[in-house]
Structure 1
Amino acid sequence: MKLAEKIEARTPAHRDRAIDGLRALALLAVPTGHWLLGGFTLDTDGALHNASPLTAFGFFAPVSWVLQMLGVFFLVGGHASVLSYHRRTGTTGAWLRQRLARLGRPVLGVTAVWAVLIPVLWWLGVPGDTLRTGSTLVVQPLWFVGVYTVITALTPYCVRAARRMGAWAAAPLLLTVAVVDLLRYGPYADAGAVPGWLGVVNILPGWLFAYQLGVSWGEGRVGRRHARGLLIGGVALFALLLLVFDYPASMVGVPGEARTNSHPPSLLVLALAAAQSGAAILLHGRLGALLRRPALWAPVVVVNLSAMTILCWHQTAMLAAAVPASFLGEVPGLTTPPDSLAWILARVAWLPLFACLLALIARRARVFETPWPRGARGARAVAGVLAVGFAVFAFGWA
């Protein structure tokens, strides 16, 4: 029996394939976005430094609109969490500990492995600046895990809000981000009356917005009428913020730019998340029917089974190609500045190699997604110490 047929045979009849398909799509957008919108420059000492094609190509910003699919990820995360929450057999605390452990193990694994890799690579002649660049890239997607962990812990409260307010439970989150943005970028900001740290307030409501929509959807409180409103309203708000209020066009940070939409999330991020959420809910039925085909369903299952591995290790896969190339000098699309159309074409050509390297790494790294065996407290302690050491190095505290 072919692999696709085996996966099909093992899939429960009640499985919501559309939710898994949307999650897989959002997951694959993360490495694709980082691989396309991130690049390197090579200094005279042969060290790699981070760079971005968005610095040279403003017209490349719409690519970030397509590849910034965290709104979809949080939407389906909320939908899946509420269903899992209702199916729990133990206490809420036990359910939460289980879900948080699934998020934490892969993070602990990748940071512990990199803590070992850094001195080995340095001994092999990799420049210290390259190691710091690599560490920054490895840490870059891990912020998401921390935010998602906090939001997952709020699931019981999101369920209560959904039952009381339905689809409108996400509205106060949108309003909070709008008020903070007004204070940050409005006339008060020009007067210097707003503290610089105020944007941090947007982190929780900004990313909780789509998750709350997903919880309300999972509770059956968001229908197609709401979804159409989210899609139309999200697109309208997105256009208004871009064309009238001069929000940065890129959904990711651009080196040298004073403002960013993503860290912390701005109202533009929520507008995009609303539009994406509306479209995802409207397409749910069609996508589920499409994924009844075993050939399409099998890769979705594989991606979902390796979700955290993909998130944690995709930057390592790119570095596995770029660091050896740095010893050869300027390799188009790998170590050359991302400031030409030739670089874009070359980088696209490198994507299959990055994907193959990620697949090879994932075969070993997926072990970190499985539960630790009983009696492995010593191994966990060692991994924890290594992870802390890596954090010290990555954040420049050493």
Structure 2
Amino acid sequence: MIGALPGAGRGRLDQVTTARPSPAELDARTPADRDRVVDAVRAASILVVVLGHWTMAAPERVEGSLRLRNVLEVATWAQPLTWLFQVMPLFFLAAGFANHRSLAPRADGTRRPVAAYLAGRVDRVLRPTLIFLAVWLVGAWVAVALGAPERALDAAGTAAAMPLWFLAIYLLLALLAPAQLAVHRRWPLLLPTVLPAGVLLLDQAQGTGWAALAFLNYALVFGLCQELGFWYADGRLQRLPRLAWVAGAAAAVALLLVATQLGDYPVSMIGLPGQKVSNMMPPSICVVLVALLQLSLLMLLRPALARWLQRPGPWAATVGVNLRIMTVFLWHLSGFAAAAGILLALDAPLPAIASGAWWAWKLVWIALSALVTVAFVLALGRAEQGAGQVAAPPAPLAVLGTAVAFVGLVMVACAGFVAPFEAGGIELVGMRFVPAVGAALVVVGYALTRAGRTTAAPSPTR
């Protein structure tokens, strides 16, 4: 049974009764006004993140112990590739598009209640995430009790929790979207003008006593990406000539070269040891430039991509990926950790990082990680079935629940999963967090958005 594919059009994909509908059936049931390019962007951006994480992870043995490094530390020639493959800006552009469509007036002039919209977004994110949290928290606690190597487990748990960062930002943007959309409709040029200036200003706080302020850039940088999604949903971006996008891509590359070669910003859009300034923890003005570059390239490719997605095969693949994309995103680093455990138990070699032998073995690591992740998706992916189709709670509960879930996800993302009842993990604004407390807040947030429900809410495709 396949339900609605969230977010990319005014209509929804009707449910079909066959377990495996043919590509032609899916194509025929897709509303004519659905923007298939946005669906493809959402699916492709997550798959690129997954493949990137698997590729960059570089375990090595040092004096008999195992540590995890990033191949970009050694293969510095590959760092500029992150300008193309750090695709979180495109993911949040697609999220902005979906939020705009969910909150926009319907054909009959009515609007979806904000409470129903928030409840749907929280359900979409947290239904598979709650299973993920339960499995990891209980599993890590049991593994430590049984004598598993705590250092290796801590590294695996820290890595596995990483996707929660961006799910937290997704909920934050959903929470901000109604107010942001109101500003967008009244002053469409305001936020694209003000937000980059604010990002650049907050960048100056990095490495100072005001460093905590720089973390506001998560809202500003990805809020700007959401704003670009609003512009796409309005049709404004599509009306710009191709020459504008050629100029946009060229300007973005030129400014990135200035910022990274003449300024203090690192080349890599992935955080690496030894960097004085971060481009992603928190995001910097360079991520804004990367967003401009990636958007420009997307708009240049959009006509050809739209034609390609009219074919039943590519469209069916896009639908299939999106139906389980949250589960893939949540479990892909767990899949890598499990694959690493298998390969290391089999005494697989660990050649010098970025050597020819290392790249050859990396194909084996990626293939096994993919197999394990597919197993996770097959076992747990049904949690996404029907996600987002919930009734509306009272508006204050929906807002509070979304905010509480956001805080909980941030806490677990920082703390990791080992020692569930002890504060640990990475420090954020001078604090360390207890994983179990963060998970409890996620549960409370989810419950709040499902409490005191009033009216039935449509799928977030509306």
For Structure 1 versus Structure 2, the TM-score category normalised by the shorter chain is 0.7 to 0.9
Percentage of matched positions with identical amino acids: 30
State how far apart, in whole Å, the 2-side matches of 1:38 and 1:255 are: 14
Structure scoring higher RCO (CA < 8 A, sep ≥ 6) equals 1
Change (3 A) 1:342 1:114: same
Given that 1:37 and 1:54 are in contact with CA atoms closer than 8 Å, whether structure 2 keeps it comes out as yes
Q: Which amino acid aligns with 2:383?
A: F
Q: Among residues 102, 106, 113, which one is paired with 2:135 in the alignment?
A: 113
For 2:147 and 2:28, locate their aligned partners in 1 and report how far apart those are by CA, in whole Å.
50
Q: Which runs of 5+ in 1 are unaligned?
A: 375-383
Q: Over aligned residues, Cα RMSD in angstroms?
A: 2.9
Residue aligning to 1:144: 166
**TM-aligned CA deviation for residue 176 of structure 1:** 0.5
CA offsets per residue over residues 284-333 of structure 1, 9 Å max, x none?
2321111111221121111111121111010011111101223334x23x
Q: Which of 212, 222, 225 is the matching residue for 1:207? A: 222
The DSSP-based 3-state class of the residue aligned with 2:60 is strand
Q: 1:232 to 1:90 in 2, by over 3 A?
A: same
- Report the residue type matching 1:297 in the other structure: W
Partner amino acid, structure 2, of 1:262 = M
Q: Which residue of 2 aligns with 1:380?
A: none
Aligned partners of 2:351, 2:137: CA distance in 1, in Å?
27
Matched, 1:317 2:335: yes
DSSP-derived class of the 2:346 partner:
coil
> In the superposition, relative to structure 1, how do residues 394 and 2 fare at CA in structure 2: closer, same or farther (>3 Å)?
farther
In structure 2, how many angstroms separate the alpha carbons of the residues matched to 1:254 and 1:323? 24
Paired position in structure 2 for 1:132:
154
1:351 maps to 366
From the superposition, tell whether residues 89 and 159 of structure 1 become closer, same or farther in structure 2 (CA, over 3 Å).
Answer: closer
Q: Could you tell me how far apart the structure 1 residues matched to 2:75 and 2:423 are?
A: 29
Contact 1:40 1:337 in 2 (8 A): no
Match of 1:379 in 2: none
Structure 2 vs 1, CA of residues 17 and 371 (structure 1 numbering), >3 Å: closer, same or farther?
A: closer
Contact 2:339–2:365 under 8 Å retained in 1: no
**Which residue identity lines up with residue 176 of structure 1 in the other structure?**
G
Q: How does 1:121-270 map to 2 (within 5 A)?
A: 121-122=143-144, 126-166=148-188, 169-182=191-204, 184=206, 195-222=210-237, 223-225=239-241, 227=245, 230-270=248-288
How many residue pairs are counted as aligned between the two chains? Answer: 376
- The 1:230–1:84 alpha-carbon spacing in structure 2 relative to 1, beyond 3 Å, is farther
Quote the Cα distance in structure 1 between the aligned partners of 2:301 and 2:316: 20
Task: Find the aligned partners of 1:18 and 1:61 in 2 and give their Cα distance.
Answer: 27
Q: Deviations over 1:114-136 (max 9, x none)?
A: 12222444466531111101110
Q: Which residue of 2 aligns with 1:71?
A: 89
Q: Closer, same or farther in 2 for the Cα pair 1:389/1:284, shift >3 Å?
A: closer
For residues 281 and 117 of structure 2, the distance between their equivalents in structure 1, rounded to whole angstroms, comes to 30
Question: Residue by residue, what CA displacement relative to the aligned partner does 1:336-375 show, whole Å, maximum 9, x if unpaired?
Answer: 663534212321343222222211210122133235899x
Equivalent in the alignment of 2:296? 278
Q: What is the TM-score when the length of structure 1 is the normalising length?
A: 0.85
Counterparts of 2:299 and 2:93, CA distance in 1: 9
TM-score w.r.t. the length of structure 2 is: 0.74
Q: Which runs of 5+ in 2 are unaligned?
A: 1-19, 391-407, 426-432, 435-462
Q: Deviations over 1:253-276 (max 9, x none)?
A: 112333321100011111001111
1:29 matches 2:48: yes
Letter aligned with residue 70 of structure 2: S
> Given that residues 23 and 315 in structure 2 are in contact (C-alpha distance below 8 angstroms), is that contact kept between their aligned partners in structure 1?
yes
